[in-house]
Amino acid sequence: MRYFLLFLIIVPALEIAILLLSGKTIGVLPTIFLLIFTGVLGAYLAKRQGLETIRKVQEQLRYGQIPGDALLDGICILIGGTLLLTPGFITDTAGFLLLAPPMRKFFKKLLIKAFKRWIDKGNLMIIR
């Protein structure tokens, strides 16, 4: 939790610094246009990949399979899309990384390790 609080303080401060630097370097209007463009592009990509992931989950459920990998994809897409809608270049970069399928494999491994750690500590309980 302490890391999350630190994250909530540092990331917005860095975002403001980068936005000010960008506004000074390329101008205010191009910076605003770039932020709007990444938000729209991110929303489009997240919607497209999210719908594809929902289709995969439904297909796997139809065949009686557990859609674990597709659900992890969905978590990454949801977080990536949310980050892309948040104004700022750091969050946009993180969002695009979460939407890129090759990088998503890396983040899914991290999620699996985190879930295993939470289960081992007893912080996460799975009910069948």
> Residue 126's closest CA among 66, 50, 61?
66
Q: Quick check: is 127 in a domain?
A: no
Give the per-residue pLDDT at 101: 87
- Residue 91 confidence (pLDDT) above 70: yes
- On whether residue 16 sits in a domain, the answer given is yes
Tell whether 70 is covered by a domain.
Answer: yes
Q: Residue 22 CB: number of other CB atoms within 10 A?
A: 17
User: Looking at the domain assignment, is residue 126 inside a domain?
Assistant: no
Q: Is residue 81 in some structural domain?
A: yes
Number of domains in the chain: 1
Prediction pTM value: 0.79
**Residue 87: φ, ψ to 5°:** -70, 130
Q: Which domain holds residue 73?
A: 2-121
Mean pLDDT of the chain: 87
Residue pLDDT, tens place only, 27-70: 999 999 999 998 899 889 889 999 999 998 888 888 888 888 88
For residue 126, pLDDT over 70 is answered with: no
Q: Per the domain annotation, does 114 fall within a domain? A: yes
CA distance 113 to 91: 23
28 domain residue, yes or no:
yes
**pLDDT over 70 at 127, yes or no:** no
Asked, for residue 60, whether it belongs to a domain, the answer is: yes
